[in-house]
């Protein structure tokens, strides 16, 4: 299999663990083990204390699958297949479900594996561009109009990384109905689900809207436990899960035993876990609103509707200059603050990704303004 480099991961490989502030992370500040274990109930505490480090059940621990299924309206444990992160789930899904010549539509800019694995599997991929001039909203009519007779999948990530796009429930249902009527499988990357801002509604999960649709979930983002590397596919289409399970035999075989128990603890305490994530993101959004109002000379700001990232634009004639690549390079060298230039999404050279989930974001913004960065104080 030949697959293009994952540009964002290559950028992170160079910088992520070498800088003082990762101001562009898409995950939420991770839980400490001590804090997480305090959330355990009697059953999970005993599971943790008595855990043996053998192989685990390949589809995922039955209790974990049951807890994941409870995030959906219509699913049961057997409708869930656990993977090493959403990344492995995406790899197995597109590798098994896409054939040479299939047409696949994917929202863009976006997480590269959602289209790169499909391309590597032989699909003709159309990138469905979200437009800043539309407030990064999902143009459902344009998306439906771009479907062809050979379109096999429509892939939508919402809440969306990096823009924070989130359709209304009505728009989402309209897209789902159009896909179902045309026999197109909707793949919903919902790794930022439950991180809706300012009263925006949580969308019905893709897997709940039609028996052929697929939801992708993970512990990394809304649940703030990226280090567990626990993700999943959820769907009532058991044939898809079965095909993915057969490929998983060649990737990881089964999940890490400690991660399964810790994920179970986190999901059973999900209200508390999500509340923590939402309050970190809300506090950062409030700081950013004020920052962008003050620094409209440097950045154009479309406020995200959900998720833990945003995608501000550089004002070309502003002090940061017109090139996001050059700005990010100067910034990281002079202040130790890492931003992610839009070129890592193959999406021009004018935008940067910001992360909303890390508690040091205010310090990073301060370093950008007060340090030796070239945008200077306002």
- Applying CB under 6 A, the residues found at the interface with ligand PLP are 26, 85-87, 111, 157, 161, 189, 191, 218, 220, 226, 231
Query: Which residue has the CB atom at the shortest distance from ligand PLP?
Result: 85
Residue closer to ligand PLP (CB basis): 172 or 291: 172
Q: Which is nearer to ligand PLP, 163 or 335 (CB)?
A: 163
Q: Buried b vs exposed e over 66-76: b needs ≥16 C-beta within 10 Å?
A: bbbbebbeebe
3-state helix, strand, coil in the chain (%, to 5): 40, 15, 45
Half-sphere exposure of 160 (CA within 13 A, CB side): 28
CB of 180 to ligand PLP, least distance (A): 23
264 vs 367 by CB, closer to ligand PLP: 264
If the CB atoms of residues 109 and 373 are measured against ligand PLP, the closer one turns out to be 109
| SS (HEC) of 122-135 | CCEEEEEECCHHHC
Strand 151-157 with 124-129, pairing: unpaired
For ligand PLP, the closer of residues 190 and 237 by Cβ is: 190
CA distance 182 to 127: 19
Distance between CA atoms of residues 222 and 280, nearest Å: 11
- Tokens representing 41? 């109930």
Q: In angstroms, give the least distance from the CB of 310 to ligand PLP.
A: 13
Closer CB to ligand PLP, 184 or 218, in the complex: 218
Least separation in angstroms between residue 228's CB and ligand PLP is: 9
Q: How far is the CB of 146 from ligand PLP (least distance, A)?
A: 20
Which neighbouring-strand residues pair with 299? Answer: 314
- At 192, phi and psi to the nearest 5? -105, 10
């Amino acid at each position: 299999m030949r697959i293009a480099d994952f540009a964002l991961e290559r950028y992170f490989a160079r910088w992520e663990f070498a800088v003082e502030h990762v101001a562009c992370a898409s995950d939420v500040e991770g839980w400490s083990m001590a804090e997480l274990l305090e959330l355990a109930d009697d059953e999970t505490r005993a599971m943790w204390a008595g855990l043996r480090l053998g192989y685990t059940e390949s589809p995922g621990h039955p209790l974990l699958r049951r807890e994941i299924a409870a995030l959906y309206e219509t699913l049961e444990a057997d409708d869930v297949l656990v993977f090493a992160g959403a990344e492995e789930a995406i790899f197995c899904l597109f590798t098994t479900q896409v054939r040479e010549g299939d047409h696949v539509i994917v929202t863009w800019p976006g997480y590269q594996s959602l289209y790169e694995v499909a391309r590597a599997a032989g699909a003709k991929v159309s990138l469905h561009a979200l437009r800043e001039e539309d407030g990064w909203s999902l143009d459902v009519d344009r998306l439906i109009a771009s479907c062809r007779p050979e379109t096999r999948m429509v892939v939508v990530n919402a809440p969306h990384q990096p823009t924070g796009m989130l359709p209304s429930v009505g728009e989402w249902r309209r897209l789902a109905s159009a896909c179902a009527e045309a026999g197109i499988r909707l793949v919903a990357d919902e790794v930022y689900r439950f991180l809706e801002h300012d009263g925006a509604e949580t969308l019905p999960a893709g897997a709940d809207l039609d028996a052929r649709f697929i939801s992708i979930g993970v512990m990394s983002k809304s649940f703030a436990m990226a280090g567990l590397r626990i993700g999943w596919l959820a769907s009532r289409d058991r044939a898809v899960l079965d095909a993915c399970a057969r490929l998983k035999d060649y990737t990881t075989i089964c999940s890490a035993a400690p991660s399964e128990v810790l994920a179970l603890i986190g999901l059973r305490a999900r209200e508390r876990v999500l509340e923590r994530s939402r309050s970190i993101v809300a506090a950062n959004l409030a700081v950013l609103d004020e920052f962008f109002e003050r620094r409209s000379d440097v950045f154009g700001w479309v406020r995200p509707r959900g998720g833990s990232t945003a995608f501000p634009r550089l004002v070309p004639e502003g002090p940061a200059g017109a090139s996001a690549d050059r700005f990010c390079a100067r910034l990281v060298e002079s202040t130790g603050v890492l931003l992610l230039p839009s070129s890592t999404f193959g999406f021009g050279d004018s935008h940067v990704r910001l992360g909303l989930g890390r508690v040091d974001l205010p310090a990073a913004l301060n370093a950008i303004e007060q340090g030796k960065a070239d945008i200077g104080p306002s």
